[in-house]
Chains A and B, each alone.
Chain A
Amino acid sequence: MGQPVTSTPDALSGLAQIYPPDRLLCGPAELAPFESDALTAFRERPRAVVLAESAGDVIETVRFCHRKQIPFMARGSGTSLSGGSLPIRDGVVIALNRLTRVLRYAPQERIVVVEPGVINLHVSELAADDGLYYSPDPSSGPVCTIGGNVAFNSGGAHCLKYGMTANHVLGLKAVLPDGDVVELGGPSLESAGPDLTGMFVGSEGLFGIALEITLRLLPRPERFRTFLAAYNDLSMAGDAVALVVASGLLPGAMEIMDRLAMDAAEAAVGAGYPEAAKAVLLVELEGPAEEVAAEEPKLMAVLEKSGAYHVHLAQNEAERAAIWKGRKCAFSAVGRLSPDYIVQDGVVPRSRLGEALTEIEKVGRESGIRVANVFHAGDGNLHPLILYDGNKEGDLHRAEEVATRILRMCIAMGGSITGEHGVGVEKRDYLPEMFGPEDTEFLHMLRNAVDTHELANRGKMLLIDEHD
């Protein structure tokens, strides 16, 4: 866009009108922790970080940035795996971690209204005493914020049955990139008129910043039954998913881990995965006790017929928790196997999972790069962890090539480049490949209609004009 950029002292003095010195960070040492997110291959120095303490702070900052045409972005815990919370060079980072108030909790209405800095897992903890929980459960749940979840439409392990963040946000108060404040949706599961709330969720910060979020809570299932099926072959585990689906059962979660991912998880938390298995398929039934009891033998039969050499049913809550702990920590545990890694999260049609996994193995082998696989098999959402050593000449480049080939495979199979991590910085080059030039241009038009100067989270999801 090439707008004139406000000079640094001017911008800082303007922000100093809004924030006391201890909430306006601009020195190199203070900025360092904000220069990257969970996609560590990217790093960028913002001009300043402001620590907002109220919705008013955020609104005022956005209005100031809009007036001065300074790019800005919101940041929660910085757990984005797509570089979604990577700072904009010389832009302003609005840190929302202090906006942690629960504004309204109404278990009878199954809703809670929170500020964006509230931690994902805290919502379920808050509602637990009333037998309720918040469904979207990204692996980063103990640290990631609801505001970040809203911006990137985060998912988790239960999306096939329950959907992603967008399916659990009923209403929003948000500040648009030009400082206008809007209320979208409300405290009902239903709405009248266009689903503007749904349109805002997942806009990767490009449509503005959510200030108050109304979440839908669900009753916690009465009973869980967690199965672990062990296979001698990864693609066989992939094909087993189609058999479960064809049986008419609708499990709450279906997850697959390959040997490398299991090794990492074992080393980290000792989850008790079968030692000889090349892959495990985790399937969890949940619901009323009678219902789960009736489904249990049916699922057992399907899994036994699927080529699993062993099927184990978790015998108690501790075993179930260990199985899940291993799965949830897989990303961070892979850090034990390799100094660096890239996580992809492309989606393929579920019936082609086996084929996709064979292809990923082949790509890894050809590139001499190790790839660990952990994924949400129920919805075809792959999570290949591409291992590399950033200190080794050419390693990052080779890893990126592997990532590219996997993404192109997802597109070619009619899937998506991202199931839940968002496009961010990492996959913006591939968005036009998925949508084609015309639909991509339309996304740009929508963005520009909401944010003429492309100030809000510039450089995420959509490529910036080349002459910028």
Chain B
Amino acid sequence: MNTIEEIQEAVRASPRLHVRGAGTKSALSGAATHSVAGLSGMVEYNPSEYTFTAKAGTPVAEINAILANHGQYLPFDPPLAGRGATLGGTIAAGLSGPGRYRFGGVRDFLLGVQLVTGEGRVVRGGGKVVKNAAGFDLPKLMVGSLGRYGILTECTCKVFPRPETTCTIRAEFVSAEAALEKLCALATASFDLLCLDAGPADTLLLRVGGMRESADARVDRLNAFLGASTHVLTDEEDAQAWQSAGEFSWLPKGYGLIKVPINPARILELEDAAGAMNPAPVRHYSVGGNVCWLGWPNDAGAEHADAFLKRLNLPGVAVLGSFRQALLGHQTGDAFARRLLSVLDPEQRFQPYAA
């Protein structure tokens, strides 16, 4: 499907559609029937407005390259960009990378959308300027919608100026508890970190960004605050560290990947529950302890992931691997969602996981 008209035709002709972008998130796109990867390209980019509009199938890497030419970037570090992830796929999957910590996630940088509904209607929501309070916030609804609420065709995003320089501090602690305590202290202090990850749980990764002349002083102060064994990564090493975090290269073979929204207060509980399993899921915490990227061993049985999260009363969304359903664990808001779906997809064409 390379045009909006083709998407509309496909929608009207198919009782059931499951759309993917580039297919980089296997748990979400594995059974896709259609792709919008052909609907690709930057439509409009205004560096002075901090905004761009691109077709949904545009690879994030392509967008990143264009933005970089103007010293700008998408601060939420869209994951899997290096593997070909598309803008629309990133939005529909609702995935943000480590940079989400400082300025917000994909939900915060999406300003406007155009989409095709389950009736083949082309609808626009939001706007093309950085601030807008008119109408319902359809762009936010599309974040994490997993293709259930419509097929994205065009998206307008906000961008920011890229910091002049970045560097990373890796700090190792004696235990996950000690690292977590420091993570909480960092989160409430005014260090203005770009990223704050913990992976594994006893190791913190802090990214500092800003003007070149202030970087050393900021790192010194952070090192003093951390009071742990630290190592500073700069230039290529700094870039590598976050690229591999964003591509989940720490994930062992034979493991699926689940995104688990959480917050720092519940991390030890999850650590205990995961640690008690055999084989144990691997964990990488990101966004100041607001996301656990949970590597789920295939040997533990994909079907058990849902029950595991439900027991912990945590939500999850499957990202990589093969799971029976996309949404796992504790989910809320069904009564509101159903009402919205009755308009966005009245004939339930976009229910890939229902069958």
Contact = CB atoms under 8 A, between A and B. Distances in A.
Contacts, number: 292
Interface stretch (B4-12, B103-111, B197-205, B235-243): B103-111
Contacts of B46: 349, 351
Given A106-B265, A195-B94, A248 B71 contact: yes
Contact of A349 (B49, B142, B315, B334): B49
B259 A418 contact: no
Nearest to A172: B333
Given A110-B187, A191-B94, A422 B133 contact: yes
Interface in B120-155: 121-125, 127-138, 140-146, 148-149
Interface string A63-92: 000000000000000000000000000000
Contacts of B50: 160, 245, 350
Nearest to A410: B129
Nearest to A248: B161
A194 B144 contact: yes
Per DSSP, are chain A's interface residues mostly helix, strand or loop, or mixed? mixed
B312 to A, nearest CB: 13
Nearest to B264: A109
Interface stretch (A38-46, A365-373, A375-383): A375-383
B68 to A, nearest CB: 13
Given A182-B333, A184-B333, A291 B210 contact: yes
Contacts of B337: 193-194, 196
Contacts of A431: 134-135
B290 A198 contact: no
B132 A347 contact: yes
A461 interface: yes
B28 to A, nearest CB: 12
Q: How large is the interface on A (under 10, 10 to 19, 20 to 34, 35 or more residues)?
A: 35 or more
A203 to B, nearest CB: 6
Interface in B311-350: 315-317, 327-329, 331-337, 339-340, 342-343
B263 interface: yes
Given A184-B332, A194-B145, A450-B339, A108 B131 contact: no
Given A108-B184, A193-B331, A202-B133, A288 B144 contact: no
A7 B142 CA distance: 42
A290 B190 CA distance: 12
A151 B103 CA distance: 23
A430 B13 CA distance: 36
Which 10 residue pairs across A and B have the least CB separation, nearest first? A198-B140, A188-B261, A189-B290, A294-B211, A290-B214, A416-B132, A190-B261, A192-B317, A379-B131, A192-B315
Interface of B: 46-50, 71, 94, 96, 100, 103-105, 107-108, 117, 121-125, 127-138, 140-146, 148-149, 160-162, 164, 184, 187-192, 210-211, 213-214, 217-218, 221, 259-265, 287-288, 290-291, 315-317, 327-329, 331-337, 339-340, 342-343
6 contacts: A108-B264, A189-B290, A246-B48, A379-B129, A431-B135, A450-B336
Given A291-B218, A431-B134, 16 more contacts: A110-B187, A189-B291, A192-B94, A193-B315, A195-B94, A196-B141, A199-B336, A202-B133, A246-B47, A287-B190, A350-B49, A419-B132, A419-B133, A438-B123, A442-B117, A443-B135
